[in-house]
Amino acid sequence: MVTEHWTPADIPPLQGRTALITGANSGIGYRTALVLARHGARVLLAGRRPESLAEAADRLRADVPDARLATVELDLGNLAAIRATAAPLAARETIDLLINNAGIMDVPERRTTHDGLELTVGTNHLGHFALTAHLMPALTRSAAARIVTVSAIAARWRSGDLSDLMSEQRYRPMAAYAKSKRANIVFTQELARRLAGSTHRALAVHPGSAVTNLQRHTSAGRMGRLFVALAAHTLMGSADGAAWPSLYAATHPAAAGGTFIGPAGRDQTSGTPRPVPLPAGADRPDLGAVLWRESERLTDLTFPPLPQT
């Protein structure tokens, strides 16, 4: 794959293409939506709070007056709500770019979703697994859809081992986050294998380090939150730059299915996007098959047939 210096200015025209972005009301998701709209894509802003989505749409239209936008109320922690949201889209839409961006991090105590799933993995991985499955008819209508799932550097941590996926034996906030982010990659690798031979691509990205609303659940207390805020000016990048890997994966002609995209800068915290190594073992077909089956069981769904050549 090409690894030249790349910026969003290199994105080709996207007129006639539709993108759905989860967590699009703020942070990386909003910046991704803004750039895609600037390049002519029709953008579906998906998020849990209608008022936040409306505010985001207003901000985006102020910047891109001719933007083609719609908002989609989506609760990734409620499987029935995901199904209800996706059903009309699956019936009538053609989705060319699905960017599974939304996430939560560092929830202080073990909590569960509406369906009794551990909240972090249930939202970050299983919610997006279910959404992708339910939207597959809309993705299949595209001539060449891309499914981009946002992971994190935390996917490389040893605490991200996928055993005890629901943290029933032991709950640690950042270990649950690492599990969810590793699951994002393992799911993407398995999806890419299943899409092999078709014109559709599944890619995973990590955004480097950026301070966004993702840190609102931090368990470190007031001083920890203060440290995170100060780090924004020294160690971490902006939401603008952190959106670049998602944008690259969604639009670069050479971005191949199964690729993991991250920033090229020191310690992969910021910089131009490029292919980066996968966490050790994340591309194992046996692990992918096990996670796929477990994800189907936990979400009580069977992934629909995938497009073939």
Per-residue model confidence as pLDDT tens digits over 31-90: 999 999 999 999 999 999 999 999 999 999 999 999 999 999 999 999 999 999 999 999
pLDDT (0 to 100) of residue 240: 80
Residue 308 within a domain = no
pLDDT (0 to 100) of residue 227: 37
Q: Dihedrals φ, ψ of 280, to 5°? A: -55, 125
Per-residue model confidence as pLDDT tens digits over 173-229: 999 999 999 999 999 999 999 999 999 999 999 998 654 445 444 444 444 444 344
What whole-number distance in Å separates Cα of residue 195 and Cα of residue 187?
A: 12
Per-residue model confidence as pLDDT tens digits over 4-24: 789 999 999 999 999 999 999
**Residues 248, 278 contacting (CB under 8 angstroms):** no
With bands split at pLDDT 50, 70 and 90, how would you rate the model's confidence at 309? low
Strand order in the sheet with 97-100: 68-73, 42-47, 18-22, 97-100, 146-150, 201-205, 260-263, 273-275
Owning domain of residue 34? 11-299
Residue 306 within a domain = no
Could you tell me if residue 197 is left (phi over 0), alpha (psi between -120 and 50 degrees) or otherwise beta?
A: left
Residue 3 within a domain = no
- Relative orientation angle of helices 173-195 and 285-299, to the nearest 10 degrees: 110
Domains of the chain: total: 1
Residue 248 within a domain = yes
**Residues 125, 154 contacting (CB under 8 angstroms):** no
Higher pLDDT, 281 or 160: 281
Can you give the pTM of this predicted structure? 0.91
Residue 77, amino acid:
G
The CATH number covering residue 237 comes to 3.40.50.720
The one catalytic residue among 30, 171, 177, 248: 177
Residue 253 within a domain = yes
| Catalytic residue check, 248 | no
pLDDT (0 to 100) of residue 10: 96
pLDDT (0 to 100) of residue 232: 39
What whole-number distance in Å separates Cα of residue 208 and Cα of residue 218?
A: 18
